Amino acid sequence: MNNKFDVITIGGSAGSLLVLTELLDALPDRLTAPVIIVLHRLRNVQSEMGRLLSTRRRIVEPEDKEPVREHCVYLAPQNYHLMVEADRTFMLDYSELVNYSRPSIDMTFSSVAEVYGARTLGILLSGANKDGAAGLCQIITAGGRGVVQDPQTAAFEAMPQSAIEMCGGVQVLSIENIKKIIVGET
């Protein structure tokens, strides 16, 4: 069973949509840990991203101060940074772009690392910039597990590659193996 993690957080940018869908479809029903997703998206265009990503799971864009609940899959809303507070509620932040991005993966990963520490699983997928790399390192420093999609299989390698270069302890895995971790087999 999946008792190792209290939270799973996933970041992705260019080229991550299909693999993310694959991961979401593989989430076992018994998984209790909340899943927090950050994708780089257009800022002022209405989108139905939540529905696009998965037909199996309902994906929620959290509102400010909403508690982080088990069994739920969350997606950072457009044009806000998404953070988690010490009392495990969401906080939205409308400050400057970070790594040219809002939402920024670093912002979410780093706040999750601070709150969930060693009980965090962070996953960084395909993308064309380095957002998420520093955050993934913070997850690892906090004792959590940091995984990247193998750059060789990623449509855009810059994002996972930056994380590998930025700190030790990053696990480089195929999507199949990332699924296995989520399912709790490895």
93 binds another protein (CB under 8 A): yes
114 binds another protein (CB under 8 A): yes
Q: Residue 86 burial (CB < 10 Å; 0-12/13-18/19+)?
A: exposed
DSSP state of 90: E
**Which of the following is catalytic: 16, 40, 110, 111?**
40
Residue 40 annotated to the active site = yes
134 binds another protein (CB under 8 A): yes
3 or 44: CB nearest another protein: 44
| CA-angle at 55, arms to 49 and 61, nearest 5° | 40
Residue 64 annotated to the active site = no
65 binds another protein (CB under 8 A): yes
Q: Residue 57 burial (CB < 10 Å; 0-12/13-18/19+)?
A: middle
Residue 101 annotated to the active site = no
64 binds another protein (CB under 8 A): yes
The CA-based dihedral angle spanning residues 152, 155, 159, 164, taken in that order and rounded to the nearest 10 degrees: -10
**Which of the following is catalytic: 16, 110, 131, 162?**
131
Which of the stretches 4-12, 13-21, 77-85, 149-157 binds another protein when contact is defined by CB under 8 A? 77-85
Residues contacting 166, CB < 8 A, separation 6+: 130, 133, 134, 136, 137
103 or 160: CB nearest another protein: 103
- Catalytic residue annotation: 13, 40, 131
